Structure 1
Amino acid sequence: MALADISRVEIEKAIEECDRLGRDAFLTAYGFRRARRYVLVHGGGQYDSKAIVGAAHGFLPGERPLAPDTPGFSGGAKHAARLLRRLGFDVVEDPGASDPPHDEPTHDGLTHDDLIHRVTHLKVNRSAGRPALYKPIVLLWAMGRALRGEPRLLPWSETEEALKALLERHGTRGERPRPDYPIASLHHEGLWELRDFTGPVTTAHGDAGVKRWFSAHQPRGGLVEPLHELFRHSAVTRLAVLDDLLDTFFEDLDPAPLLADVGLEDSDPAAPRPVVARAPEQWLLTAAEYERGCRLVEEKEARTRGRRRARTTLGPVRSRAARYLVLARSQGRCENPDCTGQPADVTDRNHPILEVDHVIGLAQGGRDHPSQMVALCPNCHAVKTRGRTREALRDVLLRVARERHEAGGGRGAEERPARRNETRSWGGQWQGEQHERS
């Protein structure tokens, strides 16, 4: 940690990124919550002091953004606020803020990483050796609601009605239409919030007693807020969790009907959904989120390497999250440094025409990881696949993939000139550049 090396330049870059992403998306991307006491006032806007300093640290050469729980890093008078004031920024105290401090865990002692780990390592009952689908179905339903920006908490009657229908249609392993079981279990695992009742929450064991508790107390409930916000704003987290749930629990099933019912059928990372009220061309991916996404991809890779899908064909297990990271990293441009003709046209969703390629095929031992994957225009993809120069091009692309991955998703200044409106958010701004290329 090198707080003393941070200058006004890095702070202003972090402020610019916050303005670009929006406050909530910025905080979610870097893993922070709103400031409890110290607020940075700059250019007529208010910013969360610790989050700004943490993000600014990532703009230092060779450094990464600071996490909220970095040892020795606080948002108080001795660290973030003190640094900002020393650099000449206006920091005010806001004792009326109600959110917990940034350096406290996000929920019941759990960090964002803790919450995601609990989702990707769900403990479920097994029938005849196969995992029950109660909790995966509930989580996919809640993820779809978060993606659409729907209210996080619902009355029990609405939750029960929606989940009963899903369990009846998609509970193919003997699951009864009883959402009280998975909801109680998820609550005790720290993933589901229940409100508006008195006394302790029932356990997920037994039968009539569990149903009776929910009928009597009628709690409002939903995903805990930090997890809901991650699913809503972080496409790479959402895709990584979706990958994990589908590969763990639906390996021998076709999940397409369920995904359609919960609103996750459009999970193609080539067409990520924008954050509400942001420009549709922006892929909101910061350096910190790129790092988090790679970590999730690596955890999944360790569990699934060498596995092949049992559905339809015996194709290798592939990561939606890894593909998304590569597309976002590319900023809409072919990653072949010698590309001579990327199409100026765009897709129906106004996205660049790019294809993600595994430089070393998975069947040949390559990794399903951004460090060995590139985004290519159709011309370069064809040359890499069947051109006479494909072997030489593969060596170039392996180097490019490694360098851009090690740079945290960005492109080195030596590889291309600075472009108008470019920031450290690895997505967005490519649309106007299409005209420059053409």
Structure 2
Amino acid sequence: MALTDITREAVLAAIAEFDRLGRDAFLEKYGFDSSRRYWLLYDGTRYDSKAIAGAAHGYLPKRSPLAAKDFSGGRGHAVTVLRRLGFEVTSAPNTDPSGLQTADEIASTIDDLRPASASGKPMLKQAVVLLWAIGRARAGHDRLLGWTDTVAALTPLLQTHRRDGESRHGRPDYPIAALFHAGLWELPGHTDVPRAHGTAVWTWFAEHAPEGGLPESVYTLARRSGPARVRMIDAITARFLDDFYESELLTAVELYDEDVAADEAPPPGDSDQETAPGSTPGASNSDYARMCELVARRERRTYGQRRTRIANDPIRISAAREAVLLRSDGRCENPGCAKPAPDRNDRGKPLLEVDHIEQLTDGGRDHPIQMIALCPDCHRVKTHGQSRHRLIPVLAQRARELHDQWMRADGWPSRRAVEGER
């Protein structure tokens, strides 16, 4: 049985059965849960894309329907097949914009965006709007903003950060309409937003002047989680800005500094503030692995090009430092010390000093595989002590061992990420 065998006629037959039985009965008959991310749009109606694809297989000659366990409903399988057959599939239903629950889901949805092009490259409008909103979330501004204020804030950004051939007017209605239909923007109380083409979009926004912003789940991740925030930023820069000098735009939206990967500081009196110095709340091998992969990906993407800019990339530096602090578990990583950090900062991070074992001026890298978290005493010895020449090789070996342990404990599949390769 192969999902790729299904035909457009078979899909249309499954859609007709869906209409005849009703959604609940259709899903129950074929054993599928309701879609959370991908929806097939046909003749003005939304259909659960994976269930439709599975049922369509049963309309092929001498074939049976596919069960949910038989195939993936994501972008790499059912979605691709349905789009190849000429159907429109969209990410995240407009009526449930909070359906995106993880940074990976958000990044995948960003990767699915299909912006118009200018000079053969994707236009930057959607990227500018998303990065601006993530910057607002990080700063703790209100999630939803009135239309007049949204236009006033976005217009100069859109006019400044654009490709050659991209419109100069700077209107945010078209990118916001596109993001709304992709499930990455919320316009409460509105479901009739036109698609992002033609004059109907401008007319609709002028008439309704909607309040809007990121879906609540996306806003919350961008506000509170440093790793999730940099995952979103990296997805946007990879999708839209791969060949574009991104630092000026990221600086303008306050997302280009060495604390961008840090979690939001907990409120005064929060229980995390009182955690013992020797432990790291919520330490996760998966978070460590993903930050290391982000560091390696940003380095690989531009290694050898614009070297000064890349060597000083605050996003990569921030992600690398946060990964090392996470890995340290709140203790000095010198194997001859291993003392708990003396205290924590306002964000709950252990007061350890993250240092490069091989200095950047000597060719060292901003990658956790050659970075180490040290207590103040060990850091002074490593930098100025007479025994530093014996200590440095020990620290280098320890950093590689810890990096390897954390990556393999998560079962991370990328050998490049495990080995810290460029």
**What is the TM-score of this pair, normalised by structure 1?**
0.55
Question: Does 1:294 find its partner at 2:289?
Answer: yes
Q: Letter of the 1:337 partner, please give it.
A: P
* Identical-residue share of aligned pairs (%): 35
Cα 1:115/1:251, change in 2 over 3 Å = closer
Map of 1:354 onto structure 2: 353
* C-alpha displacement of 1:211: 1.0
Cα 1:235/1:341, change in 2 over 3 Å = closer
8 Å CA contact 1:346, 1:352 repeated in 2: yes
Q: How does 1:28-47 map to 2 (within 5 A)?
A: none
Cα 1:276/1:121, change in 2 over 3 Å = farther
Cα 1:212/1:285, change in 2 over 3 Å = farther
Q: Letter of the 1:201 partner, please give it.
A: V
Query: Which of 322, 325, 331 lines up with 2:323 in the alignment?
Result: 325
Q: Letter of the 1:228 partner, please give it.
A: Y
* C-alpha displacement of 1:175: 4.4
* C-alpha displacement of 1:218: 1.7
Deviates more, 1:257-266 or 1:125-134: 257-266
1:59-113 Cα distance to aligned partner (Å, 9 max, x none): xxxxxxxxxxxx9xxxxxxxxxxxxxxxxxxxxxxxxxxxxxxxxx984754423
8 Å CA contact 1:374, 1:397 repeated in 2: yes
Rounded Cα–Cα distance in structure 1 between residues aligned with 2:172 and 2:323: 34
1:23-60 Cα distance to aligned partner (Å, 9 max, x none): xxxxxxxxxxxxxxxxxxxxxxxxxxxxxxxxxxxxxx
Rounded Cα–Cα distance in structure 2 between residues aligned with 1:344 and 1:287: 18
Rounded Cα–Cα distance in structure 2 between residues aligned with 1:164 and 1:269: 24
Residue 263 of structure 1 aligns to a residue whose secondary structure is: coil
* C-alpha displacement of 1:247: 5.3
Question: Does 1:335 find its partner at 2:333?
Answer: yes
Q: Letter of the 1:135 partner, please give it.
A: Q
Q: Letter of the 1:397 partner, please give it.
A: A
8 Å CA contact 1:156, 1:221 repeated in 2: yes
1:347-385 Cα distance to aligned partner (Å, 9 max, x none): 999973512447899x999894x5665324534654899
Rounded Cα–Cα distance in structure 1 between residues aligned with 2:149 and 2:109: 25
8 Å CA contact 1:326, 1:374 repeated in 2: yes
Question: Does 1:305 find its partner at 2:300?
Answer: yes
Rounded Cα–Cα distance in structure 2 between residues aligned with 1:345 and 1:111: 33
Residue 355 of structure 1 aligns to a residue whose secondary structure is: strand
Question: Does 1:187 find its partner at 2:173?
Answer: no
Map of 2:400 onto structure 1: 398
Cα 1:261/1:342, change in 2 over 3 Å = same
Residue 396 of structure 1 aligns to a residue whose secondary structure is: helix
Deviates more, 1:324-333 or 1:154-163: 324-333
Question: Does 1:205 find its partner at 2:197?
Answer: yes
8 Å CA contact 1:240, 1:293 repeated in 2: no
Map of 1:140 onto structure 2: 131
Cα 1:365/1:329, change in 2 over 3 Å = closer
Cα 1:309/1:142, change in 2 over 3 Å = farther
Cα 1:394/1:312, change in 2 over 3 Å = closer
Q: Letter of the 1:200 partner, please give it.
A: D
Rounded Cα–Cα distance in structure 2 between residues aligned with 1:179 and 1:380: 54
1:169-205 Cα distance to aligned partner (Å, 9 max, x none): 33354343011111011111111111234x5211112
Question: Does 1:375 find its partner at 2:373?
Answer: yes
Map of 1:114 onto structure 2: 105
Rounded Cα–Cα distance in structure 2 between residues aligned with 1:233 and 1:156: 25
8 Å CA contact 2:223, 2:264 repeated in 1: no
Rounded Cα–Cα distance in structure 2 between residues aligned with 1:352 and 1:303: 27
Rounded Cα–Cα distance in structure 1 between residues aligned with 2:171 and 2:372: 45
Residue 212 of structure 2 aligns to a residue whose secondary structure is: strand
Deviates more, 1:216-225 or 1:299-308: 299-308
- The structure whose RCO (Cα within 8 Å, separation 6+) is larger is 1
8 Å CA contact 1:357, 1:376 repeated in 2: no
Query: Which of 215, 229, 240 lines up with 2:220 in the alignment?
Result: 229
Q: Letter of the 2:201 partner, please give it.
A: V
Give unpaired runs (5+ residues) of structure 1.
1-70, 72-104, 409-438
* C-alpha displacement of 1:301: 4.2
Deviates more, 1:236-245 or 1:220-229: 236-245
8 Å CA contact 1:231, 1:238 repeated in 2: yes
Rounded Cα–Cα distance in structure 2 between residues aligned with 1:162 and 1:295: 32
Q: Letter of the 1:355 partner, please give it.
A: V
1:277-332 Cα distance to aligned partner (Å, 9 max, x none): 466968985245x5246336537746863642644637467464343122233255
Deviates more, 1:120-129 or 1:188-197: 120-129
1:157-180 Cα distance to aligned partner (Å, 9 max, x none): 221221112212333543430111
Rounded Cα–Cα distance in structure 2 between residues aligned with 1:381 and 1:270: 26
* C-alpha displacement of 1:223: 0.7
**What is the TM-score of this pair, normalised by structure 2?**
0.57
* C-alpha displacement of 1:119: 2.8
Count of aligned positions? 301
Cα 1:356/1:115, change in 2 over 3 Å = same
8 Å CA contact 1:192, 1:222 repeated in 2: yes
* C-alpha displacement of 1:269: 5.4
Rounded Cα–Cα distance in structure 2 between residues aligned with 1:237 and 1:270: 8
1:206-230 Cα distance to aligned partner (Å, 9 max, x none): 2x22211111122221111111111
Rounded Cα–Cα distance in structure 2 between residues aligned with 1:341 and 1:299: 29
Residue 228 of structure 1 aligns to a residue whose secondary structure is: helix
Q: How does 1:241-320 map to 2 (within 5 A)?
A: 241-246=232-237, 249-250=240-241, 254-268=245-259, 273-277=264-268, 286-287=282-283, 290-292=285-287, 294-295=289-290, 297-298=292-293, 301=296, 305=300, 307-308=302-303, 310-311=305-306, 313=308, 315=310, 318=316, 320=318
Query: Which of 114, 138, 142 lines up with 1:151 in the alignment?
Result: 142
Cα 1:271/1:121, change in 2 over 3 Å = same
Residue 308 of structure 2 aligns to a residue whose secondary structure is: coil
Rounded Cα–Cα distance in structure 2 between residues aligned with 1:227 and 1:391: 43
* C-alpha displacement of 1:268: 2.6
CA RMSD for the aligned pairs? 4.4
Map of 1:130 onto structure 2: 121
